[in-house]
Amino acid sequence: MSSRVGYLLAVMLLLLGAALRMHMLNAAPVGFGNAEITDVQVTERVRQGGIEVFYDIGNGEGREGLYNMVQAVFTSVFGNGLFGYKLLSLWIGMLVLAVVYALAQRLFGPVVGVAALALLTTNMWMVVLSHLTLRETVLPLLVALMLLILARTLAVYRGIHASVPDTTVFVLLGVLLGLGFYIHPVHLLIVLFSMIAIAFRLFSKQRLSSQNIGYLLFSLLVMIIIAMPYLISTVRLPNLSGAVRIFDHYTIAENPPLKAVADTIGAMLFVGDANPAHNLPGRPLIDLVSGLLVLVGVLTAARQWRNARYALLLIASVVLLPAAIFSRTTPDFLAFTPLLPLVAIYFGLGISIVYRSVVPSVRLAVVLGAVVLFAFNLGWSVGDLFTVWPAAPGVSRAYHVRAGRLAQYVDQTAAQTPTVVCDSQGVIENLDAFSATDLMLLMMNRKNIPLRYADCGSGMIFVNGGDKQQVIMPDPQTLDLMQPYLRQWLDQGTQIATMPSNSVVLLDVSKTLADEVGRFTTTAPAGYAPDAAGGSGLAVPPVRFGGNLSFLGYEKDGDQTYSPGGIYTSITYWRVDGVVPPDLRFFTHILADPASQPASQNDTISVDVKQLHDRDVFIQVIFVPLPLNIPQGMYGISVGAYTSSDDVRMPVLFNDIPRGNRLFIGQITVQ
């Protein structure tokens, strides 16, 4: 194969690789796994100004942050969410393909380069890596770049001016050796195999020039300078450093070496990684035929170990292999990522050796067989990646697919349809405390969409007087756990059949809400406080309050009789008439006498008032427990609002004149 034909095939494979990786970029699967969420949290910490060598991600475990710093820059430019966070991994995945082809082609020729590129292009795990927001996505690129630069600086291959040292390449070698420390602890092994490769080259028969050796020493100096903060932080924070995490807390008691080796071989050729977050359980890393060709390539390299080209691969393989074998969760495809460029090149070597070993009349059959193997792997990966794997058991849970699908739906619809989210909005630092709503917000690409939030267990918002809106329920149990009175309102809506069950309800209750509020004027009378200016009297809704609120009425309890220890439920309707105080709270007091201290009370609010607009109506449900020792008798119920920052109650207004700061909404009997 000529270099031009190889280059043309490489371009075609790169285009195919780009298509595979860009197709359903944020939808295969839809969502983030827990490991990705951890990386996203570190990225957000960087965006807020927290620049550290080691980030403490909990349980005393550290993490390097260079990947997250680059991710913070990327997402600042291209946006975040499911799409934005995956762009960096997509670009890295494409760079891996290009660098591996360049490395294999320079070391062993175009046949090996094209074959190695073909394997990585169609490999399912390589495509999955391009869809994951993980720092491990950098490792194949880091290994391939290091091998390519070592091959150039050590004059392993003979290209244009390969024998003439280029200071730029040596500077790049030092920079790469130094920066890798800030990416992943596996870089310690990358530095180790680099030092061994340099030593091997220094003592080989084909000696390097003194100028070349001087430049190598300069590269090591650049590495030391860049790595100095890492070394200082390792001394200061040994428990967080990469040295203690390089084998992921591997213990012989949990995973004996022979078993670990057997699991590694099984993962590559037979059973794969059982973790649905990484793989379709039961699918190996590569097919058996490709595995045999990889073995041929390894044996070929072993026979030619004195040749610097093969020695470079063998040294890297021997040094990096323990990180995959002795992973805590063997077999683990994430632990295999540094080896992927080497596996691809060994595969290319195997193809090349088989082609050259057969008689010329059979070589056409070898080429056809390679094409068939490529087509098989392409079809196998496409079917599993985009159809079988997303529907496999465990994938939905591993990637929080429900939250991901809701994030995509809200991104597409919330700008046109007013949206109420059944939860409270908040930033959670601890992954274990993430709510379904936090996950949905994390995965949304459009962070500036106006959303309203209500704790649908005790509050509900009707946008613009009950006009068309959609209610999003990130937690699948929300509808089942709703207060029955509020559930009746949502039951009037329509669930979106194409979305997960109990997740999206379309609601349009403007007429029903108007009828309900009108009914309150006759069935549930309210009164001013007797101690207010102007005395007691009938308060006909809507009753204006300070803070741009209007009281629309309340749902009268039909029983009105309670036992000590029971729970009184207050259900009130309110309308927003302007900007509402952000620290607004509602109170419900149970009073034996209007002038006495409450026998029982509860203060709360179940909607996020900061997102409310004019004419929004919301229901507030307050549960007031009655003391076990409460005396028998008649008790009045008073309600009102106040600001929690200063405990100042909102005045009740009549013709813009204050008339107390509470309303009475009937009585109950305790017996």
* pLDDT tens per residue, range 351-388: 999 988 888 888 889 999 999 999 999 999 999 998 89
Looking at residue 591, its amino acid is: L
Mean pLDDT of 246-275: 77
Question: What single letter denotes the amino acid at residue 2?
Answer: S
* Same domain membership, residue 111 and residue 41: yes
Provide the pLDDT for residue 161. Answer: 47
| Within-domain flag for 24 | no
Chain segment 646-667, per-residue pLDDT in tens? 999 999 999 889 999 999 998 8
Query: Do 246 and 121 share a structural domain?
Result: yes
Could you tell me the pTM of the whole model? 0.86
Total domain count for the chain? 3
* pLDDT score at 558: 67
Count of residues making up the chain: 671
The closest alpha carbon to 560, from 488, 486, 637, belongs to 637
**d(Cα 190, Cα 312) in Å, to the nearest integer?**
12
SS3 652: strand
Q: Given 381, 396, 411, which residue is the final one in a domain?
A: 396
Name residue, tokens 């990889």: 294
Exposure class string for 367-402: b at 16+ Cβ within 10 A, else e? eeebeebbeebeebbeebbbeebbebeebbebbbbb
Task: Quote the pLDDT of residue 158.
Answer: 60
Q: Assess whether 489 and 542 both reside in one domain.
A: no
User: Which pLDDT score is estimated for 428?
Assistant: 39
Residue 658's CATH number: 2.60.40.770
Higher pLDDT, 593 or 161: 593
Q: Give the domain extent around 484.
A: 400-508
Question: Cα separations (Å) of 118 from 9, 100, 101, 113, 366?
Answer: 9, 11, 9, 9, 15
Check residue 251 and give its pLDDT: 57
Q: Of 508, 529, 560, which marks where a domain is finished?
A: 508
pLDDT, position 27: 72
Residue 93 pLDDT exceeds 90: yes
- If you search the block for the tokens 């309203």, which residue do you land on? 452
Q: Which of 459, 461, 443 is nearest to 451 (CA)?
A: 461
Q: What pLDDT, on a 0 to 100 scale, did the predictor assign at position 300?
A: 94
Task: Encode pLDDT of 423-455 as tens digits.
Answer: 855 433 444 457 888 889 989 988 888 899 999
One domain for residues 551 and 458: no
The verdict on 113 and 240 lying in the same domain is yes
Residues 377 and 346 in one domain: yes
For the chain, give the mean pLDDT. Answer: 89
Of the listed ranges 16-20, 163-167, 508-512, 543-547, the least confidently predicted one is: 163-167
Residues 337 and 196 in one domain: yes
Q: Are 392 and 404 part of one and the same domain?
A: no
Decide if 660 is inside a domain. Answer: yes
Q: Are 119 and 12 in contact (CB under 8 A)?
A: no
| 376 shares its domain with 410 | no
Cis peptide before 390 (omega within 30 of 0): no
Whether 639 and 559 share a structural domain: yes
Q: In this predicted model, which residue has the larger pLDDT, 629 or 243? A: 629
Q: What is the pLDDT of residues 472-519, one digit of tens each?
A: 999 888 888 888 899 999 999 999 999 999 999 999 999 999 999 998
| Residue 332: Cβ-neighbour burial (10 angstroms; 0-12, 13-18, 19+) | buried
Q: Does residue 548 share a domain with residue 476?
A: no
